[in-house]
Chain A
Amino acid sequence: MSGQLIINGIVNASLIAPPAIAFSLLFGILRFPNFAIGAYVTVGAFIAYALNVGAGMPMWVAGLGAMAGTAVVVWLSDVLVFKPMRGHTPVTLLVVSIALALIIEHVIRLFYGADVRGFDLPLERPIKFAGLRITGEQIDIIVMTIVIGIAIHLLLQYTRIGKAMRATADNETLAEVRGINTSYVIAFTWFICGALFGLTGVFAGLDLVIEPLVGWYLTIPIFAAAILGGIGSPYGAMLGALLVGLAEELTVLVLPSSYKIGVGFVIIAVLLLIRPHGLLGQPEIKK
Chain B
Amino acid sequence: MSAYLISMATFVGFFMILALALNLQWGMTGMVNFGIAGFYALGAYTSGLLSVKLGWPVGITIAMSCVTGLIAGGLVALLSMRLREDYLAIVTLGFGEIVRLIALNEDQITEGPRGLKIDARPFADMFDRETYPLVYLGLVAAAVAVVFVIVECIRRSPMGRTLRAIREDDVVAEVLGKNVLRHRVQVFALGGAFMGLAGALYAHYVQNISPEVFMPMVAIFIWMSVIVGGAGNNWGLLLGAGVVMTILEGSRFMGDFIDFLDAEQLSAIRIIVIGVLLIAILRVRPRGLIPEPKFSFATSTTQQERQPSTENAK
Contact = CB atoms under 8 A, between A and B. Distances in A.
Direct contact, A vs B (beta carbon within 8 Å):
yes
Contacts of B313: 172-173, 176
Interface stretch (B63-71, B96-104, B132-140): B96-104
B73 to A, nearest CB: 15
Nearest to B217: A102
B105 A87 contact: no
A107 B86 contact: no
A268 B269 contact: no
Contacts of A99: 220, 274-276, 278-279, 282
Q: Which of B32, B87, B303 has the most CB of A within 10 A?
A: B87
> Which range holds the interface residue count of chain B?
35 or more
A91 B98 contact: no
B268 interface: yes
A87 B304 CA distance: 7
A262 B223 contact: no
A265 interface: yes
Nearest to B112: A258
Interface in B145-170: none
B304 A88 contact: yes
A117 interface: no
Interface in B49-79: 79
Contact of B275 (A84, A102, A227): A102
B265 interface: yes
Contacts of A182: 314
A133 B9 CA distance: 56
Interface in A61-89: 81, 84-89
Given A220-B97, A272-B91, A90 B272 contact: no
Contacts of B269: 106, 110
A95 B265 CA distance: 24
A56 to B, nearest CB: 26
A32 B303 CA distance: 15
Contacts, number: 138
Contacts of A220: 90, 93-94, 97
B82 interface: yes
Interface in B244-278: 264-265, 268-269, 271-272, 274-276, 278
Interface string B87-120: 1011101110110010011000000000000000
A110 B268 contact: yes
A110 B265 contact: yes
Contacts of A96: 278-279, 282-283
A96 B276 CA distance: 9
A81 B220 contact: no
B83 A276 contact: yes
B264 A113 contact: yes
A105 B264 CA distance: 13
Interface in A84-139: 84-92, 94-96, 98-100, 102-103, 105-107, 109-110, 113-114
B301 interface: no
B85 interface: yes
Contacts of A176: 313
Contact of A103 (B79, B276, B311): B276
A81 B276 CA distance: 10
Given A94-B89, A96-B279, A99-B278, A261 B303 contact: no
A96 B278 CA distance: 7
Contact of A88 (B89, B93, B94, B286): B286
Interface string A248-283: 000000001011011011101100110010000000
Q: Which of B87, B90, B217, B269 has the most CB of A within 10 A?
A: B90
A80 to B, nearest CB: 9
Given A102-B274, A103-B276, A33 B217 contact: no
Contacts of A88: 282, 286, 303-304, 307
Contact of A100 (B95, B98, B279): B279
A5 to B, nearest CB: 20
A203 interface: no
B179 interface: no
A87 B303 contact: yes
A242 B286 CA distance: 39
A87 B310 contact: yes
Would you list the 7 A-B pairs with minimal beta carbon distance, nearest first? A265-B94, A103-B275, A106-B268, A99-B275, A109-B268, A99-B278, A87-B307
29 contacts: A81-B279, A84-B283, A87-B303, A87-B314, A89-B303, A89-B304, A91-B26, A91-B32, A94-B89, A95-B278, A95-B282, A96-B282, A98-B223, A99-B220, A99-B274, A99-B282, A103-B271, A103-B279, A106-B271, A173-B313, A259-B101, A261-B101, A262-B101, A264-B94, A265-B97, A266-B98, A268-B87, A269-B94, A272-B87
Interface of A: 32-33, 81, 84-92, 94-96, 98-100, 102-103, 105-107, 109-110, 113-114, 172-173, 176, 182-183, 220, 223, 227, 256, 258-259, 261-262, 264-266, 268-269, 272-273, 276, 286
